[in-house]
């Protein structure tokens, strides 16, 4: 559990071993998406989720296995582009795969009734996780700094962090420390209601492009390693972006899965 007014030192310790969007962000994308599924889609997908008790927990599975049993999947969690290449539609994946390629392949597996139940269940878990990843701006970062992992930063008290960790979870943890652990979910729920009736792109590449564009914003300080010190003001000025990305991820994931059900019937 995240403790209010957690010191930056402890925050750093938690950061070193944490995952993409960390657990809270990923669970929220998938759990909120599940709430938006049509009943028929839930009936189809529930057996594939049962092993993990909820879709939110199932969506954490890809991070659990990427460094141990399934190291071949590690590159599936990001798509890194050099500064000279800003268009996610034109980028190409390395031989071992990338986020965009992995998403499309797992969609095909989930939609293929000739695949085993286990293969299709894992595809469902991967898809939810990948939709979360693609809405986190540092998963569409630079290859030379590994999506901001090697963009070293410091907090005002001198403790170290990096750009990827800040966007993966330290902004969320700071939000929790100020307003409590329910604050993010409340904000995301409001934004889901706000965005739900808006027309959403169905293209995974366009969601990646949004994240890339956010990563390149001057306020983020990622480009040219402009940001050096992570202040409270920096994190608080980006609360809204984090809330938006989680809400949009949930809506788009639900629409993707609802559409899959309707096309297969």
According to DSSP, residue 71 is labeled G
| Predicted local distance difference test score (pLDDT) of residue 230 | 98
CATH 1.10.575.10 fits 19-147+182-219+250-264, yes or no: yes
Would you state the structure tokens that stand for residue 216, as one six-digit string? 């390149």
* Residue 40 pLDDT grade (very low, low, confident, very high; cuts 50, 70, 90): very high
| Predicted local distance difference test score (pLDDT) of residue 31 | 98
H-type helices in the chain, by residue range?
8-16, 22-35, 39-49, 55-58, 61-65, 99-110, 117-134, 163-165, 171-179, 183-195, 204-215, 232-237, 239-264
For the whole model, what pTM was predicted?
0.91
Instruction: Dump pLDDT digits (tens) for 45-71.
Output: 999 999 999 999 999 999 999 988 899
**C-beta of residue 165 within 8 angstroms of C-beta of residue 222:** no
Burial class (CB in 10 A: 0-12, 13-18, 19+), 113: exposed
Residue 177 CA to residue 164 CA, distance in Å, equals: 20
* Residue 21 pLDDT grade (very low, low, confident, very high; cuts 50, 70, 90): low
**Gyration radius of the chain's alpha carbons:** 18
């Amino acid at each position: 559990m995240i403790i209010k007014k957690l010191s930056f030192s402890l925050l750093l310790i938690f950061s070193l071993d944490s995952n993409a969007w960390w657990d809270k962000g990923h669970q929220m994308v998938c759990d909120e998406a599940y709430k938006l599924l049509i009943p028929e889609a839930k009936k189809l997908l529930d057996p594939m989720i049962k092993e993990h008790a909820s879709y939110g927990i199932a969506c954490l599975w890809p991070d659990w296995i990427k460094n141990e049993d399934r190291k071949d999947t590690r590159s599936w969690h990001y798509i890194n582009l050099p500064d000279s290449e800003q268009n996610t539609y034109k980028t190409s994946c390395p031989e071992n795969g990338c986020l965009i390629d992995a998403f499309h392949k797992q969609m095909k597996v989930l939609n293929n009734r000739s695949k085993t139940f286990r293969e299709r269940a894992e595809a469902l878990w991967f898809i939810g996780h990948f939709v979360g990843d693609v809405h986190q701006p540092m998963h569409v970062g630079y290859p030379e700094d590994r999506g901001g992992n090697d963009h070293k930063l410091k907090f005002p008290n001198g403790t170290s962090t990096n750009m990827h960790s800040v966007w993966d979870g330290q902004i969320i943890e700071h939000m929790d420390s100020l307003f409590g652990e329910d604050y993010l979910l409340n904000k995301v729920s409001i934004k889901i209601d706000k965005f739900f009736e808006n027309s959403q792109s169905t293209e995974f590449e366009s969601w990646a492009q949004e994240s890339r564009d956010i990563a390149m914003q001057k306020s983020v300080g990622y480009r040219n390693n402009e940001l050096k010190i992570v202040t409270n003001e920096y994190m608080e000025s980006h609360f809204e972006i984090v809330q938006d990305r989680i809400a949009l991820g949930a809506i788009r994931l639900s629409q993707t899965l609802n559409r899959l059900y309707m096309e297969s019937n």
